[in-house]
Amino acid sequence: MGKLIDRFRNKQAHVVVMGLGYVGLPLAVAFAEAGFDVTGLDLDDNKASAILNGKSYIQDVPDEQVQRLVASGKLKATTSFGVLRQADAVSICVPTPLRKTGDPDLSFILSATDELAKYIHPDMVVVLESTTYPGTTREILLPKLTENTGLKIGEDFFLAFSPERVDPGRTDWTTFTMPKVLGGITSNCTEVAAAWYGAALQTVVTVSSAEAAEMAKLLENTFRMINIGMVNEMAIMCDRMGVDVWEVIDAAATKPFGFMKFLPGPGLGGHCIPIDPLYLSWKMKSFNYNARFIELASEINTNMPRFAVSKVQDALNGIAKSVKGSQVLVLGVAYKPNIDDLRESPALDVIHLLQQKGVVVSYHDPYIPHFKQDDGEMHSVPDLMSAVSSADVVVIITNHSEYDYAAILDSASLIVDTRNALGSKGKESPKVVRL
Ligand SMILES: NC(=O)c1ccc[n+]([C@@H]2O[C@H](COP(=O)([O-])OP(=O)(O)OC[C@H]3O[C@@H](n4cnc5c(N)ncnc54)[C@H](O)[C@@H]3O)[C@@H](O)[C@H]2O)c1
């Protein structure tokens, strides 16, 4: 254990990051920047080749940084699991989606751990980063890594959980500066993993168990999901009463303490907030406990795309036009502003619901040139302003900052603004319907 810790302090350890997506690539880059020899391991040959060719496919990681780290030999990439044989330290950053039934899909964690189990050896430390329900590290990873290996946890090898908190598109908090919560299966595991992460990241916050670290991540994301659900319901209630929810939120936010601003919108998106709390509510069922806050917020948030579509119907009704056959332009399909991530985006539901009603839908997004639907592919309109002026209704779903909202307001004949992107100008304009 002491020797392994020294290898981290002296930056001599060989680090492998399994899964080179939104989480894994920035983490691999942070370890390489700290001076470790890092190999990124992914099933996707395109990702490994891109890195070896000095190309980043993650917006927050510049090409130049990948080129520099690859040229210096600090960063490598591969699809070959054999690289785990030489690894001192392994971070697992594979996806944790939901199944169609709403249950956790741990298949990526299971297959990554099965591969790792073939190569686990003494003096190795493994950290799971994928968001998951409390208990996964101990109940799923630990048996797989000890079965048939004869290795003893906390003595021969070390296992911990450390949740990733990256917020794509954010520049004030990065993988390096974001405090990293970490909890091991044993106290030795915590100590070794903290020596590794502490040698590369600015602040490591240790907790007493892997379960506490797993739960901390779910508390953070459940907090956001429930507060967004609450403010979405506030938007629905304000709508019924004819009160401007945006004005109400701004007024409440003048309170210097005890209030935190959350904004309503057309629904939740991304790989984390809509999904992670459901991992917790699923796990709680095995304790005969119904996680009511989570279920309620999920129900409200899931219905927000329908609420947004009802606003489009109201807008068309106001000009005596039928929904069927109308031309609707959706502005922004990414799940949040200024990023290129479409996962779980409410725009997909809004588009689908509009199409079901016979609407002719087009979209524009500077970050997402095209995307697949169940029955085909959609492409971003090439000429934004001509699409804005020819649409019956423009629906602002994602408030990307590069849009010229004043020009859009001038050119459009009718706008549904689900994000208050037009601000007070939208409030004053008779051609704008707001959430
Ligand atoms: N994206 C975010 O903003 C974010 C933030 C915090 C936490 N997380 C969590 O981090 C985890 C990873 O998310 P992500 O957004 O990076 O996912 P992602 O889909 O962008 O990347 C995951 C990568 O893992 C690879 N992979 C899958 N199985 C593998 C295996 N067996 N071996 C090696 N590579 C494998 C995939 O090919 C993919 O490149 C998830 O649990 C997610 O909930 C994500």
Backbone phi, then psi, for 48, in 5-degree steps? -60, -45
Contact 158, 124 (CB under 8 A): yes
DSSP annotation string for 100-112:
TTS-B--HHHHHH
How far is residue 95's CA from residue 352's CA, in Å, rounded to a whole number?
Answer: 25
Q: Is the pLDDT of residue 100 over 90?
A: no
Q: What percent of the chain has pLDDT over 90?
A: 95
- Among protein residues, the one whose CA lies closest to atom 13 of ligand 1: 95
Is the per-residue pLDDT at 240 higher than 90?
yes
Closest CA to 266 of 209, 214, 225, 311: 311
Taking the centre of ligand 1 as the mean of its atom positions, its distance from the CA of residue 42, in whole angstroms, is: 10
- Residue 149's pLDDT is 86
Do the bridges between strand 157-161 and strand 180-184 make them parallel or antiparallel, or are there none, so unpaired?
antiparallel
Asked if 218 contacts 279 with a C-beta cutoff of 8 angstroms, the reply is yes
Picking from 96, 146, 106, the residue whose alpha carbon sits closest to that of residue 126 is 146
For all residues of the chain together, what is the average pLDDT? 96
Encode pLDDT of 322-344 as tens digits: 999 999 999 999 999 999 999 99
What is the distance in A from the centroid of ligand 1 to the CA of 8?
25
| 374 has a pLDDT exceeding 90 | no
Long-range contacts at 150-155 (CB < 8 A, ≥ 24 apart): 151/120, 151/121, 151/122, 153/185, 153/186, 153/189, 154/184, 154/185, 154/186, 154/187, 154/188, 154/189, 155/1, 155/188
pTM of the model: 0.93
pLDDT in tens, 117-175: 999 999 999 999 999 999 999 999 999 999 888 899 999 999 999 999 988 888 899 99
pLDDT of residue 331: 98
Q: Which residues are catalytic?
A: 272
- Is residue 272 in contact with ligand 1, taking CB distance under 6 Å? yes
Closest ligand 1 atom to Cα of 132: 41
What is the average per-residue pLDDT within 282-304? Answer: 97
